[in-house]
Amino acid sequence: MGTVFISDLHLEAGRPDTIERFQALIHGPGLKADAVYILGDLFEAWIGDDDTDPAMKPVVEALAALARANVPCRIMHGNHDFLLGRRFECATGATLLGDYEIVDLYGERVLLTHGDLLCTDDTRYMELRKMLRDPAWQRDFLGKPLAERKAIASQIRSVSLSESAAKPALIMDVNDATVEETMRRFGVRRLLHGHTHRPAVHALRIDGEPAERIVLGAWHEHGYVLHWNEEGYRVELI
């Protein structure tokens, strides 16, 4: 069946149709896959593993079904759900990954990342990311009551949306030099990421050799799924 890759689902209570598409993917191709990778922003917001939003229960249950079927599920933090933690892992049976992960896909080394670290032209976002990923900031935030965390998260999201609307589109895309430096540093010729919501396959040359950057699409109007097996990869819209 191959390996399944998805990213940027932005699941939330107000989008039950997207949650249903996710469930259909997991309980269909997902249960037959060699592995399932979610490259960040599974959720529109995650303010702590103690948040008991009932709308997210079907998502947790779907991921747990993968674990029961012995299908490995690997999840990266995105810029919306960077507070996914150990309790989430225990509830779902999934494994949280770091910012970068090299996987062997049927004999080929491929570098995975959410994608936001490649957008180095967006200096304001990079500053915000540094603050939000700081362990001290996270400990302080997670120590606050749930209602206060929701209010803070809503405020941060509002400011972020306002700033994004005022930024030139190119600033929020990847920096080509950063992409090349990252691929060179990890010694790969294929990079797979999400975050930008600009699905495409970009042909590159790294040190004179052909390379490729594959960008996953977001789950706004439909689900964007990349299947990868011994014969290569293909995209499915669900």
Whether 86 shows a pLDDT value over 80: the answer reads yes
Give the domain extent around 59. Answer: 3-237
The total number of structural domains in the chain stands at 1
pLDDT digits over 92-104, tens only? 999 999 999 999 9
Q: Please give the pLDDT value at position 164.
A: 75
* CA 7/CA 52 separation, integer angstroms: 23
Q: What is the DSSP string of the chain?
A: --EEEE----B-TT-HHHHHHHHHHIIIIIHHSSEEEE-S-SBS----TT---GGGHHHHHHHHHHHHTT--EEE---SS-TT--HHHHHHH--EE--SEEEEEETTEEEEEE-SGGG-TT-HHHHHHHHHHT-HHHHHHHHTS-HHHHHHHHHHHHHHHHHHHHHS-GGGGS--HHHHHHHHHHHT-SEEEE-SS---EEEEEEETTEEEEEEEPPPSSSS-EEEEEETTEEEEEE-
- Average pLDDT over the chain reads 95
- What's the CATH code of the domain at 144? 3.60.21.10
Share of the chain above pLDDT 70, in %: 100
Q: Please give the pLDDT value at position 201.
A: 98
Q: Please give the pLDDT value at position 144.
A: 97
Q: Please give the pLDDT value at position 10.
A: 97
What is the rounded average pLDDT of the residues 25-51?
A: 97
- 23: Cβ–Cβ under 8 A, 6 or more apart, which residues? 58, 59, 62
pTM of the model: 0.96
Report residue 17's pLDDT band, with 50, 70 and 90 as the boundaries. very high
pLDDT digits over 114-123, tens only? 999 999 999 9
pLDDT digits over 164-222, tens only? 777 787 778 999 999 999 999 999 999 999 999 999 999 999 999 999 999 999 999 99
pLDDT digits over 64-83, tens only? 999 999 999 999 999 999 99
State the sign of the Cα–Cα–Cα–Cα dihedral 217, 221, 222, 223: positive
Whether 163 shows a pLDDT value over 80: the answer reads no
Q: How would you class 139 by CB atoms within 10 Å of its CB: exposed for 0-12, middle for 13-18, buried for 19 or more?
A: exposed
Q: Please give the pLDDT value at position 156.
A: 86
Q: Please give the pLDDT value at position 171.
A: 78
Residue 3 near residue 227 (C-beta atoms within 8 A): yes
Residue 55 near residue 47 (C-beta atoms within 8 A): no
* CA 228/CA 86 separation, integer angstroms: 28
Cβ count within 10 A of residue 190:
18
